[in-house]
Amino acid sequence: MDSPAQPGIMSDYTDETVFLTPDGAVRDLETIREIFVVFFTLFPSRGLYPGGPSSRKRQVGPHR
């Protein structure tokens, strides 16, 4: 994979990490990194879905 995962995410994982996926446990840090690369390619920084929380304007004051 050519695209790097988001900076800092891999700092949460060590050689002792067991990353659970629907296909089973992943223990290899390079494979875990590749999972994040694919994830952030499919779901860019706008959020998980259009109109999601990261794309909403911040509300100030009472909610209506």
Rounded-to-integer distance, Cα 18 and Cα 29, Å: 9
Query: Domain ranges in the chain?
Result: 1-45
The answer to whether 10 touches 36, Cβ cutoff 8 Å, is: yes
pLDDT the model gives residue 2: 45
> What average pLDDT does range 5-33 have in this prediction?
89
Is residue 15 very low, low, confident or very high in pLDDT (cuts 50, 70, 90)? Answer: very high
Residue pLDDT, tens place only, 22-62: 999 999 999 999 999 998 888 776 655 555 555 455 556 67
Rounded-to-integer distance, Cα 33 and Cα 56, Å: 29
Q: In terms of pTM, does the model score above 0.75?
A: no
Rounded-to-integer distance, Cα 31 and Cα 39, Å: 12
